[in-house]
Structure 1
Amino acid sequence: MAKSKESWNKKEVRNKKEKKRKDKENKKLERKEGGKTSLDDMIAYVDENGMITSTPPDPTKKVEIELEDIAISVPKASELEPEDLLRRGIVTFFNESKGYGFIRDLKSEQSIFVHVNDLIDTIKENNKVVFEVQKGAKGPVAVKVKIDR
């Protein structure tokens, strides 16, 4: 007896393609037989709580909103609470050869990165310093760092 020229895997692939083709044909027939759905069947409404419902909203619950009450942008910096610009801290680590270190803010106890380019005075570990904080690429950065006298 001769062996079949088709492997088991080839038969499986052929059977899957045939099944997929039949499923597609069946779905096509179901769509034709099901008829068309009307636009009213597809409409959804959002109630006053933000929930999606099939019933239209009650017009008696309508609330008028003034145009001036809608805030679209971020509040300006002057409207935000002014943060203390001048901070005090202690240098916890400073590597002179690499040119960077860290200052512990006395108020927030936060460790803030400092680079040698942002120094006004030369600093060493355990120096008390006065500095300003700016947002850096990886977090807060101390700038205008000088020794507290």
Structure 2
Amino acid sequence: MAISYKKREIEKKKAQKKKEKLRRREERKAEAPDSFAEMIAYVDANGNICDTPPEPDEVEKIELEDIQISIPKKEVSEDERPRGIVKFFDDKKGIGFISQSDSPNDIFFHCSNAPKSIKQGDEVNFDIESGPRGLNAVCIEYCNTVE
């Protein structure tokens, strides 16, 4: 059976690629470190990678209590709570909106989070909570305006 010239060239190229791949693999094996200790890298106090271990005397001890996983919640005093005016209230549906004094956004509230006698135009303090459809006002109280 006669093998065409093109098939012979393709087989020669495949054999050449296979030899080259084997040669590169042998070079990588020759250049590889001899032991596991040579492969270890250390991180210094500044976060840089180096090949020398840190000095045990220079290692800073960190207490478990000093690690903060999240930002602590801000303590809000009574006079720092958001303040607004009841812009709309529908007592049949039990819903309403508060117009914030320091923001152009209106906050939704439900009558279960407000005093029973709330009505449109009342000045109130409230807390903001994220709900399924946006921000909601909760813990609504009348303002303590002393004049």
Tell me: CA distance 1:73–1:99, structure 2 relative to 1, closer, same or farther (3 Å): same
Q: Which of 51, 56, 67 does residue 54 from structure 1 map onto? A: 51
Identity %: 28
In the alignment, which residue of structure 1 is the partner of 2:130? 136
The one-letter code of the counterpart of 1:88 is: R
TM-score, normalising length: structure 1: 0.53
Structure 1: distance between partners of 2:86 and 2:19? 75
TM-score, normalising length: structure 2: 0.53
Provide the alpha-carbon RMSD of the alignment.
Answer: 4.2
Structure 2: distance between partners of 1:26 and 1:99? 79
Tell me: CA distance 1:110–1:24, structure 2 relative to 1, closer, same or farther (3 Å): farther
Q: Which of 117, 123, 126 does residue 119 from structure 2 map onto? A: 123
- Number of equivalenced pairs: 125
Please say if 1:43 is aligned against 2:37: no
Structure 2: distance between partners of 1:25 and 1:115? 76
Give unpaired runs (5+ residues) of structure 2.
1-9
Question: Is the Cα contact below 8 Å between 1:134 and 1:141 reproduced in 2?
Answer: yes
Structure 1: distance between partners of 2:81 and 2:26? 74
How far is the alpha carbon of 1:110 from its aligned partner?
A: 6.1
Q: Residue 136 of structure 2: SS of its match in structure 1?
A: strand
Give unpaired runs (5+ residues) of structure 1.
1-14
Question: Is the Cα contact below 8 Å between 1:104 and 1:111 reproduced in 2?
Answer: yes
In the alignment, which residue of structure 2 is the partner of 1:82? 76
Q: How does 1:4-19 map to 2 (within 5 A)?
A: none
How far is the alpha carbon of 1:70 from its aligned partner?
A: 2.9
Structure 2: distance between partners of 1:48 and 1:112? 49
Tell me: CA distance 1:69–1:147, structure 2 relative to 1, closer, same or farther (3 Å): closer
